[in-house]
Amino acid sequence: MPNQLAPNQVIVGNVITMEPERPRAEAFAVAAGTVVAVGSREEAIAALPGAPVQEPEAAAIVPGLIDSHLHLQWAGLKLLDAFGEAGPGSLAEALTALDAEVPHWSREEEPTLAERLTALRLIQPVLHRLGLVGVVDPAVVPAEMSAYIAARNRGELTMRVVPMPHPDVSAGADAAIAALDGVGARTGLGDELLRLGGVKVYFDGEGKNGNALRREPWPERADDPEGRGWQRLPTEEFLKLSAWCAREGWSMGVHVVGGGGIDAVLDAWLKIDAETPIAGLGFTLIHAYLEPSPANMELAARLGVLVAAQPSIHWRNGVNLEGRLGPGARTANPISSWLGAGVGVGGGSDGPYFPLDPRLGLWQARTREVTDGDAPHAPELCLDPEQALAIYTTGSAALSLAGGRRGALAPGQAADWVALSVDPLTASPAAVREMTALETAVGGRLVHAEPGATAGGAR
């Protein structure tokens, strides 16, 4: 949609800043895509004399939401597969197609560059309608990277994207290192719209398939010597790749689900940290939802390791895990425990293979409801409203390697914001699940305005 906001502007409303020093404000001033002042209406206007004043008709204005684990092109291709180039006719149609448990691409041939660009054009408006302004796209292969670069160069990228390259580790760490080294780039290359993320590695399997790496055998495989689960990468090879990444300044994001896998990954990183400190590199445990221990959490906090958590996975898999492992599995995905230990957590979805609607994620994090469940699972682990919003703003900004630059409405940070139909800090979880993103802006540029909304109309 065309931008309807001036380069310099003052936004007025019930502003939730996500800044501890000033959690609420009446207004903020934006110049050239950056927040330059936050405070009272008078203070914001004084910061930019003569700038137009915009007052969206919203219950709250919050920092734009960020999904720390969303396969953006896969989601777009799923829409292209379902609807063709015309795309879905409504948000409801789009979400129904995206939530369907079917492959993201049904055709035998790999998508062409043109198809990938079309997919991006289809999915970005859908996500903006949900209040999303940024994603971390894990496990990106060269064809996907080429599409992101092409979209950026053509001015078609409206979502802030952090793609994580996924090297082939089937031939061992040395081959993966050679491939990464040959790229001639490192984590952080790019700009605020498209920035290269960390290296993505798969360490174990999945909870729903009963092959995540546990400390004890899965009950149905109690007599199997390999019954603890699947370790995809030998420990020594993982240690070698991780050490190289740390030395060379690459960040890492490791798919690891089970407690046994979490133990192994953190133990390897502890060894590396003795030679090359990893704090500040953004090393991340991706998922880490099945039986993480207090010792895991303490060590992750000490090393500066982050966690990418997905409430949507717990929502869909909670009953399955309890059926396999018993009542103890009700404590799966203990985001509040990670936070309580001082570990940075970013909220995400793992869409489109799990529901990517951030409203569901915010709701599930606060309720711990699960599909077909008889009651919330371990409700003592529910997040409070501030924590839930934080994992999708400041928390996911840190996982996007943009902590202090995005995720809050504060001077010097990007003017990414969403005007909501409810105040997510005071509304009930049920109301948050049904709320509407009335307007969404990326870098001060309006990328979505709900029909009938003020669309940033000047006052």
Domain check: are 29 and 143 in the same one? no
Give me the CATH number covering residue 290: 3.20.20.140
What is the overall mean pLDDT for the chain? 96
> Is residue 2 situated within a structural domain?
no
Domain check: are 119 and 201 in the same one? yes
Paired sense of beta strands 60-63 and 417-420, if any:
antiparallel
Domain check: are 57 and 93 in the same one? no
> Is residue 1 situated within a structural domain?
no
Helix (H) or strand (E) holding 298: helix 294-303
> Is residue 166 situated within a structural domain?
yes
> Is residue 454 situated within a structural domain?
no
Whether 66 and 393 have beta carbons less than 8 Å apart is answered as yes
Give the pLDDT of residue 184.
Answer: 87
Q: In 3D, which of 374, 342, 414 has the Cα closest to residue 64?
A: 414
71 vs 67: CA distance, rounded Å:
10
Q: What is the pLDDT of residues 250-306, one digit of tens each?
A: 999 999 999 999 999 999 999 999 999 999 999 999 999 999 999 999 999 999 999
> Is residue 43 situated within a structural domain?
yes
Give the pLDDT of residue 226.
Answer: 85
Position 427: which residue type? A
127 vs 392: CA distance, rounded Å:
14
The pTM of this model reads 0.97
Domain count, the chain: 2
Q: Concatenate the DSSP letters of all residues of 94-147 into one string.
A: HHHHHHSSS-S--SSSPPPHHHHHHHHHHHHHHHHHTTEEEEEEEEE-HHHHHH
Domain check: are 49 and 146 in the same one? no
> Is residue 459 situated within a structural domain?
no
Domain check: are 42 and 154 in the same one? no
Domain check: are 98 and 179 in the same one? yes
Q: What is the pLDDT of residues 298-329, one digit of tens each?
A: 999 999 999 999 999 999 999 999 999 999 99
Q: Is the peptide bond before 352 cis (omega within 30 degrees of 0)?
A: yes
174 vs 168: CA distance, rounded Å:
10
Whether 70 and 429 have beta carbons less than 8 Å apart is answered as no
> Is residue 406 situated within a structural domain?
no
Q: What is the pLDDT of residues 18-50, one digit of tens each?
A: 999 999 999 999 999 999 999 999 999 999 999
Q: Which residue range forms the structural domain that includes residue 298?
A: 65-399
Give the pLDDT of residue 3.
Answer: 55
> Is residue 457 situated within a structural domain?
no
433 vs 422: CA distance, rounded Å:
10
